[in-house]
């Protein structure tokens, strides 16, 4: 058996390693302690350690993809640089190390974790589970839907459920939309592009009810920008719940392409069988960065606090321009251009600012990522022209 270094038998873990992560400070403990910094004036923020980086040169200001403008963290960068020397080897043990680190962070077993090159790849795997049976799936409208093209091409029919007037998930309506052939429900929490968040207890109740009939996928890409707990604690006892997360957002590793699913061991086993090499799709360098990111709680807390501060500043400035915003729980802002009289997208282009587009024609709703203080000052200056 020449691949013993890789084999996982019928379990969802690689060969055990002796790696032990010593993560002393939990994100939420640090984040809650520093969250008050977000109320400070834009010019008054003082980082407790080395300053967060700012944009250099005359590059375009990227405010389109909800990336963390300050990451990767110093610890992640150092780990990634060191790991480059080992990139000539497969180093499957680092996959096991990452799985164990994620499991400990979330109070789960290694068998509850499946990793992949970004959370969207995990969503694609889930879609593959249902392709043989076809049917339908339910998603809020608007919500993160790039991945749904794969589902629709595979023959799954999308059932969009409008958000409430406050741009919240309408959980009762999503339950009512269930049909005999519905295979799963997707909930992005907090939601992209609106930045709204479900009430935690209402979401738990919804999951408990919906998973009696179908699978529920909860995408928590932005949950670390909130003080709301993850629903991942429910997965160990529920084969019909998958929680998807990513290192692309607050951890600043969007280009490193590392995401993961948290689910019942039976479910991660099913998903892993759809990967050519279960948990093997991320690079040695990406894994090193992800593992180190989980250790660098101070950096994550500073990013959380800085985002709170700059988001508050940006919403205040948009209000002065008569632009109505939806309260955001993320690193982006959803706002209406209905009362804005200038050529918004033309001004962005002329000032080298990358934005998005219109998500809802009624009210001309669009989204902007929260960048650095300098970037958001330039964004406001551009649309004030």
CATH of the domain at 313: 3.90.1150.10
Nearest in space to 365 (alpha carbons), one of 319, 330, 334, 328: 334
Q: Are residues 191 and 337 in the same domain?
A: no
Q: Domain for residue 77, yes or no? A: no
Q: What percent of the chain has pLDDT over 90?
A: 76
Assess whether pLDDT exceeds 80 at residue 147.
Answer: yes
Cβ atoms 188, 215 nearer than 8 A: no
Q: Are residues 291 and 191 in the same domain?
A: yes
Q: Domain for residue 5, yes or no? A: no
CA distance 31 to 169: 26
Residue finishing a domain among 261, 279, 295: 295
As for how many domains the chain has, the answer is: 2
Q: Domain for residue 168, yes or no? A: yes
Instruction: Determine the pLDDT at residue 132.
Output: 82
Q: Are residues 91 and 190 in the same domain?
A: yes
Instruction: Determine the pLDDT at residue 75.
Output: 97
CA distance 202 to 196: 14
Residue finishing a domain among 295, 318, 337: 295
Q: Are residues 270 and 317 in the same domain?
A: no
Assess whether pLDDT exceeds 70 at residue 28.
Answer: no
Q: Domain for residue 138, yes or no? A: yes
What is the span of the domain harbouring residue 197? Answer: 84-295
Q: Domain for residue 36, yes or no? A: no
Mean pLDDT lowest among 14-23, 241-250, 296-305: 14-23
pTM summary value = 0.85
> pLDDT, tens digit, for every residue of 330-351?
999 999 999 999 999 999 999 9
The position carrying tokens 């002796």 is 18
Q: Are residues 109 and 253 in the same domain?
A: yes
Mean pLDDT for the stretch of residues 28-49:
37
Q: Domain for residue 152, yes or no? A: yes
Q: Are residues 168 and 243 in the same domain?
A: yes
Query: Pick the residue with more confidence: 23 or 165?
Result: 165
Q: Are residues 276 and 316 in the same domain?
A: no
Instruction: Determine the pLDDT at residue 9.
Output: 34
The DSSP 8-state label assigned to residue 357 in this structure reads: -
Residue finishing a domain among 295, 323, 343: 295
Residue 281 confidence class, pLDDT cut points 50, 70, 90: confident
Mean pLDDT for the stretch of residues 365-376:
98
Using CA atoms, how far residue 49 sits from 52, 145, 149, in Å, is 9, 38, 43
Cβ atoms 368, 355 nearer than 8 A: yes
Instruction: Determine the pLDDT at residue 279.
Output: 85
Q: Are residues 291 and 325 in the same domain?
A: no
Mean pLDDT for the stretch of residues 20-46:
35
Assess whether pLDDT exceeds 50 at residue 369.
Answer: yes
Q: Domain for residue 17, yes or no? A: no
Assess whether pLDDT exceeds 80 at residue 31.
Answer: no
Mean pLDDT lowest among 34-38, 232-236, 273-277: 34-38
Q: Are residues 98 and 217 in the same domain?
A: yes
Cβ atoms 273, 129 nearer than 8 A: no
Question: Which DSSP string do the residues of 150-218 spell out, in sequence order?
Answer: HHHHTTPEEEEEE--TTS---HHHHHHT--TTEEEEEEESS-TTT-----HHHHHHHHHHHTTTSEEEE
Query: Which residues lie closer than 8 Å to 294 by C-beta, 6 or more apart?
Result: 21, 23, 101, 102, 105
């Amino acid at each position: 058996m020449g691949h013993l270094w890789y084999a996982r038998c019928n379990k969802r873990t690689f060969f055990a390693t002796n790696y032990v992560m010593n993560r002393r400070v939990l994100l939420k403990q640090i984040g809650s302690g520093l969250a008050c910094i977000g109320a400070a004036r834009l010019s008054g923020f003082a980082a407790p350690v080395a300053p967060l980086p700012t944009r250099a040169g005359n590059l375009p200001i990227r405010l389109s993809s909800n990336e963390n403008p300050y990451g990767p963290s110093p610890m992640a960068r150092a780990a990634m640089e060191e790991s480059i020397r080992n990139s000539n080897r497969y180093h499957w043990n680092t996959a096991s190390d990452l799985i164990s680190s994620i499991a400990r962070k979330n109070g789960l077993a290694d068998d509850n974790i499946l990793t992949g090159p970004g959370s969207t790849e995990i969503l694609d795997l889930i879609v593959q589970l249902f392709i043989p049976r076809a049917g339908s799936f339910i998603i809020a409208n608007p919500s993160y839907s790039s991945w749904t093209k794969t589902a629709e091409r595979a023959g799954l029919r999308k059932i969009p459920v409008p958000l409430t007037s406050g741009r919240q998930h309408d959980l009762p309506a999503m339950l009512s939309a269930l049909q005999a052939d519905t295979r799963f429900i997707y909930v992005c929490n907090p939601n992209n592009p609106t930045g709204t968040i479900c009430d935690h207890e209402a979401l738990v109740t919804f999951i408990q009810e919906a998973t009696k009939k179908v699978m529920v996928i909860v995408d928590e890409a932005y949950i670390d920008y909130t003080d709301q707990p993850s629903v991942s604690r429910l997965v160990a006892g529920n084969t019909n719940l998958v929680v998807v997360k990513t290192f692309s957002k607050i951890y600043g590793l969007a280009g490193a392409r590392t995401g993961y699913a948290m689910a019942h061991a039976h479910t991660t086993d099913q998903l892993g069988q759809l990967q050519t090499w279960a948990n093997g799709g991320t690079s040695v360098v990406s894994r090193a960065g992800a593992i180190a990111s989980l250790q660098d709680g101070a950096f994550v807390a500073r990013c959380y606090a800085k985002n709170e501060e700059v988001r508050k500043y940006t919403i205040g400035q948009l209000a002065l321009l008569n632009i109505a915003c939806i309260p955001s729980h993320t690193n982006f802002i959803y706002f209406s251009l209905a009362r804005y009289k200038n050529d918004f997208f033309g001004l962005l282009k002329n000032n080298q600012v990358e934005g998005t587009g219109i998500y809802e024609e009624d009210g001309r709703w669009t989204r902007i990522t929260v960048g650095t203080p300098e970037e958001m000052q330039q964004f406001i200056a551009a649309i004030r022209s």
